[in-house]
């Protein structure tokens, strides 16, 4: 089923993962359009930001395409394809082979997806500064929030010091996405669980940053193999 592609809008941001390289290579670019049954057409990524990566974008290169549809509750979609050819005029564009199928998963409110994403957790002050920053991991994520985990900081003697987290405190998560730089998401601490040297925080996302939340899903979490397994 490829009908999901026809629900996309021109100019929509999509993420492309170049398969087969020794290092993970991802970039975001604009969706230009389709020739149904033949091509999925994208803008060539910016040379200033992705100059070295552009050298790998040529005929026959396999890619994975990911995008988010804003329909109802929203869907994460992904498919595999190959670059069919690259054109230079009137602007540089990538023509991908039409996929045989598109995998998708509904982002339902409250439904959580397992993740393992390194992140920095910063506690925000009233003036939006930070008085505490710790390294942690996002354990799972939903459309409305996520669960993160970090180890306690230690004092000079190596003894754990409990961060002074309180329910209702504001925080910011910083995630490094491959090829896309930093993604910052503001949230509110809703749950706090301490066990041994670890602390788990239940975070609620601020509602006015849907684009960043979509980027978190499409840029970091969507694994086309996992999507395929979910439909079995």
pLDDT digits (tens, 9 = 90+) for 138-171: 888 887 888 999 987 666 666 656 567 888 899 9
Q: Percentages helix, strand, coil for the chain, rounded to the nearest 5?
A: 15, 50, 35
For β-strands 181-195 and 170-177, DSSP reports them as antiparallel
Q: Is the dihedral of CA 122, 142, 205, 74 positive or negative?
A: positive
Question: In the chain, where does the domain assigned CATH 2.40.10.220 lie?
Answer: 113-218
Provide mean pLDDT across the span 42-53.
Answer: 81
Distance CA 202, CA 169 (A): 11
The pLDDT tens digits for 48-68 are 777 777 888 889 999 999 888
Assess whether pLDDT exceeds 70 at residue 225: no
The CATH class of the 3-106 domain is mainly beta
Amino acid 88: pLDDT: 86
**pLDDT at 158 (0 to 100):** 60
* Cα 231 to Cα 46, 225, 228, distances in angstroms: 35, 10, 6
> What's the pLDDT score for residue 226?
46
| Residue 67, C-beta contacts closer than 8 angstroms, at least 6 positions apart | 8, 12, 13, 14, 15, 31, 77, 78, 218
Contact (CB, 8 A) for 185 and 212: yes
Number of H helices, E strands in the chain: 3, 15
Average pLDDT, the chain: 81
**Cα 33–Cα 214–Cα 181 angle in degrees, nearest 5:** 90
CATH 1.20.200.10 at 113-218, yes or no: no
pTM tops 0.95, yes or no: no
Q: Inform me whether the pLDDT recorded for 177 exceeds 80.
A: no
DSSP class of residue 168?
T
Q: Which residues pair with 132 in a beta bridge?
A: 123
Q: What is the pLDDT of residues 90-134, one digit of tens each?
A: 889 999 999 999 988 776 555 667 777 889 999 998 888 888 889
| Every domain range in the chain assigned CATH 2.30.110.10 | 3-106
Q: What are the residue ranges of helices labelled H in 3-160?
A: 47-54
Separation of alpha carbons 102 and 76, rounded Å: 10
Specify the pLDDT at position 73.
57
Quick check: bond before 90 cis, omega within 30? yes
Q: What is the mean pLDDT of residues 86-93?
A: 89
Residue 28 pLDDT > 70, yes or no? yes
pLDDT at residue 181 greater than cutoff 90: no
pLDDT at 197 over 50: yes
Q: Please check the confidence at residue 229 and state whether its pLDDT lies above 50.
A: no
Q: Residue length, the chain?
A: 232
The answer on pLDDT for 72 being more than 70 is: no
């Amino acid at each position: 089923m490829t009908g999901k592609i026809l629900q996309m809008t021109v100019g929509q941001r999509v993420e492309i993962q170049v398969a087969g390289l020794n290092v993970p290579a991802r970039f975001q670019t604009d969706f230009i359009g389709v020739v149904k049954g033949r091509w999925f057409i994208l803008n060539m990524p910016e040379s200033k930001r992705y100059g070295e990566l552009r050298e790998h974008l040529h005929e026959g290169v396999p890619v994975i395409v990911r995008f988010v549809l804003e329909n109802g509750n929203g869907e994460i979609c992904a498919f595999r394809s190959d670059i069919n050819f690259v054109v230079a005029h009137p602007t540089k564009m990538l023509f991908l082979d039409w996929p045989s199928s598109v995998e998708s998963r509904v982002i339902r409110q409250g439904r959580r997806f397992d993740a393992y994403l390194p992140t920095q957790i910063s506690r925000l002050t009233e003036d939006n500064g930070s008085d505490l920053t710790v390294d942690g991991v996002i354990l799972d994520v939903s459309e409305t929030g996520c669960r993160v985990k970090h180890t306690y900081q230690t004092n000079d003697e190596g003894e754990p010091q409990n961060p002074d987290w309180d329910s209702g405190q504001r925080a910011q998560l910083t995630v490094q996405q491959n090829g896309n730089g930093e993604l910052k998401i503001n949230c509110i601490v809703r749950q706090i669980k301490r066990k041994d040297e670890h602390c788990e925080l239940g975070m609620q996302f601020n509602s006015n940053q849907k684009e960043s939340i979509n980027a978190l899903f499409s840029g970091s979490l969507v694994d086309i193999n996992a999507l395929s397994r979910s439909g079995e």
